[in-house]
Amino acid sequence: MPINAQILDNPKSDRVRRIADLVRDKGRERSGRFLIEGPQAVREAVTWRPDVVQDLYVEVSQALEHPRIISSTLEKIVDKSQDSTIYVHYCSGDVIRHISKDAQGILAVGNARAMQCDTEDLKLGRKPHIAAFWQVRDPGNAGTVIRAADAAGCDAVVFVDDCVDPLNPKVIRSTVGSLFHLPVLHMGTDEFFGWAKDHDMDVWAADVYGTEDRRPESLPQVLADPASADEAKAVLFGNEARGLEPEILGKCDRIVSIPLYGKAESLNLGTSAAVMLMSLAMSGHIETM
Amino acid sequence: MPINAQILDNPKSDRVRRIADLVRDKGRERSGRFLIEGPQAVREAVTWRPDVVQDLYVEVSQALEHPRIISSTLEKIVDKSQDSTIYVHYCSGDVIRHISKDAQGILAVGNARAMQCDTEDLKLGRKPHIAAFWQVRDPGNAGTVIRAADAAGCDAVVFVDDCVDPLNPKVIRSTVGSLFHLPVLHMGTDEFFGWAKDHDMDVWAADVYGTEDRRPESLPQVLADPASADEAKAVLFGNEARGLEPEILGKCDRIVSIPLYGKAESLNLGTSAAVMLMSLAMSGHIETM
């Protein structure tokens, strides 16, 4: 409801400096807030997680007597935000661009604590499908895998052990809004395996090599049995460079690899996650169509 | 065989300037050559398409009496190149970095004409699987889809109509070597449909929307019939922003869409190609395992 009529037009003001600081890990830690950039991500945040969004910063043109939001796309997002208690601030283009080169006229500031999802908060259905990522470090990859998990209809994403901060603006940009579509949890390695056990989920490792005494099953073999593809499970993917350590593989119930039919030596983490999660989801849905 | 003992150490020399110019479309057109950057792409080029590679530029250290290639990884690539008539030039680090920030110590210059594959040159098997892309414009996407087609064991990639140059260094980097694993052709739209017909291949459009009178089939339905998934075909993907035009869809034998099970609105081109091509490949391979 509240729209601040005063236009923020000083890129050097304290407020603008504090928002721009959210691009950095330290800025987010210090303030407990995070930055959402661009129409698509802001729209998805306002639509699906209005409880998280505190402030909206939108570019206005001052060419006419009254300030005017620069496009109808952005106007619709601002309208939608007015269903909730989100503060809207009109800004000059200079201010918006000073905060972020990826804003395309709109930014939001969210409450980091409200985005946090703990295992106690998470309500899982009868047959949960979880996508888990161990030590994912690259922000672009982290965003891509969250988007893939969303597309595959996973119930949640778990970042296991030491991963990139999912509230890093680069991660959020790469999720194209999916960060606001499903819960993203963070757990230690032991905590993750304990949690999966408590919820009767098998943990499947997505891994090409397996261990000395356990060769991976090939994904098409797994898909040939739709009932198995559809069972409650958490699929665990490894670090982009090092994969999964043997100790981690040893704790997994199954090891499944994506076959390569040509001469390519590998798929990257984002593509592997999309292929495995989507093909399991499709296999699980074949019977019900 | 031929190794040039003289070390190139002047970043401003004519030769270095000419190589650096291959980053630009005009530089490649003018010279008929193209640039391959970094150990992985150069290794794959030297291994699979030595006929294409003319010159290798490798970084040496001059700290000792004799110049020494800076790592054993690069040494192995140079050794491999000596099975063919590839000229090796020792370079200072400055020269290598001046040509490309993505060289990691090694570059190759290839013959663009030798990379060209025409329909007459292409020998297709009994049941070809082709990945085709209409008006793909982004170099990163173009590289990713070539890599996905390689992983899925496609017989060739066809860039249809006005696409990015596959010899653009950004495309090559994104293929991670796959450009040298399978033929990449370029055709006009009519030429493509005529060629597919001549080779008894159905053209499947990968498209979410379909046309007014033809709804797309859902990919899992298609996969439920492995014989159909395995038949001779060219799968055609649209432009990253605009998809496929109705006129193009009208010429396709089938329209197949990837279902989205969560709240994600779309997958990007690279991910869509990987999911569709890999799941068709896996479906075709289930029976034979």
Contact across the interface for A263 and B150, Cβ inside 8 Å: yes
| Alpha-carbon gap, residue A1 to A253, rounded angstroms | 51
What CATH number should be reported for the domain holding residue B279? 3.40.1280.10
The mean pLDDT of B181-206, rounded to a whole number, is 97
Same-domain status, B157 and B266: yes
Instruction: Give a yes or no: residue A267 inside a domain.
Output: yes
Closest partner residue to A274 (CB to CB) among B149, B265, B271 is: B271
State whether A41 and A135 are in the same domain.
no
Between the alpha carbon of residue A136 and those of residues A145, A171, A236, B235, the distances in Å are: 10, 11, 11, 32
Q: Closest Cα to residue A240, out of A153, A145, A172?
A: A145
Virtual CA dihedral for A256, A258, A259, A265, nearest 10 degrees? Answer: -120
Q: How far apart are the first and last CA of chain B?
A: 43
Give B147's pLDDT tier (boundaries 50, 70, 90): very high
Helix runs in B32-86, H state only: 39-48, 72-81
Min Cα distance B64 → chain A (Å) is: 33
How many domains are there within chain B?
2
Q: Do residues B51 and B172 both lie within one domain? A: no
Considering the domain architecture, whether residues B86 and B159 belong to the same structural domain is answered as no
C-alpha distance from B106 to closest chain A C-alpha (Å): 20
Categorize the per-residue pLDDT at A289 as very low, low, confident or very high, splitting at 50, 70 and 90. Answer: very low
Comparing CA positions, the residue from B213, B205, B218, B208 lying closest to residue B253 is B205
Position A1 pLDDT exceeds 80: no
Looking at the structure, do residues A146 and A91 belong to the same domain, yes or no? no
Position A287 pLDDT exceeds 60: no
Q: What is the CATH number of the domain that holds A26?
A: 3.30.1330.30
pLDDT of res. A288: 44
| pLDDT attached to residue B6 | 86
Instruction: Give the DSSP H or E segment for B256.
Output: strand B254-257
What's the pLDDT at A230? 81
Q: What is the pLDDT of residue B284?
A: 82
Residue B195 scores a pLDDT above 70: yes
Residue A286: which pLDDT band, with cuts at 50, 70 and 90? low
B4 or A87, which is more confident: A87
| Residue where a domain terminates, one of A115, A144, A165 | A115
What average pLDDT does this structure show over B123-143?
Answer: 94
Model confidence band, residue A284 (pLDDT cutoffs 50, 70, 90): confident
Does residue B123 belong to any structural domain of this protein?
A: no
Q: Are residues A104 and A200 in the same domain?
A: no
Residue B64: the pLDDT is 77
Q: Which of B265, B266, B282 sits opposite A223 (nearest CB)?
A: B282
Whether A16 has a pLDDT exceeding 80, the answer reads: yes
Residue among A177, A221, A278 whose CB faces B275 most closely? A278
Residues of A in Cβ contact (< 8 Å) with B182: 262-263
Q: Could you give phi then psi for residue A104, rounded to 5 degrees? A: 45, 40
Clarify whether residues A111 and A178 are in a common domain: no
- Domain shared by A44 and A12, yes or no: yes
Domain for residue A121, yes or no? no
pLDDT digits (tens, 9 = 90+) for A220-247: 999 988 788 789 999 999 999 999 999 9
- pLDDT value at residue B61: 93
pLDDT at B62 over 90: no
Lowest mean pLDDT, pick from A3-17, A131-145, B71-85: A3-17
* Euclidean distance between CA atoms B89 and B60, whole angstroms: 10
pLDDT at residue A255 tops 70: yes
Domain-located, residue A143:
yes
- The complex scores an ipTM of 0.92
CA distance B216 to B202: 15
Per-residue pLDDT band at B289 (split at 50, 70, 90): very low
* A134 and A277 belong to one structural domain: yes
Mean pLDDT throughout A263-284? 95
Instruction: List CB contacts (< 8 A) between B208 and chain A.
Output: none
Token pair listed for B222: 């298609």
* Mean pLDDT within A101-114: 96
Q: Does the beta-carbon distance from B262 to A150 stay under 8 Å?
A: yes
Q: Which chain A residues touch B267 with a CB distance below 8 Å? A: 147-148, 151, 274
- Domain C-terminal end among B115, B141, B175: B115
**A158 and A230 assigned to the same domain:** yes
**Residues sharing a CB contact under 8 Å with residue A224, sequence separation 6 or more, in sequence order:** B286
pLDDT, greater one: A63 or A156 = A156
User: What would the mean pLDDT of B150-154 be, rounded to a whole number?
Assistant: 97
Whether residue A122 is contained in a domain is answered as no
Mean pLDDT across the stretch A242-258?
96
Quick one: pLDDT at residue A55? 97
- In b/e form, how buried is each residue of B38-61, taking b as 16+ CB within 10 angstroms? bbbbbbbbbbbbeebbebbbbbbe
Structure letter (DSSP) for residue A239: B
d(CA A243, CA B29): 41
In a domain, B191, yes or no: yes
Residue A120 lies in a domain: no
Domain match, A18 and A94 both: yes
**Closest CA in chain A for residue B179:** A264
- Of B66 and A72, the one with more pLDDT: A72
The tokens for B276 are 């569709």
Structural domain includes residue B121: no
Range of the domain at A220: 129-286
Residues B156 and B249 in one domain: yes
Instruction: Give the residue from A67, A86, A115 where a domain finishes.
Output: A115
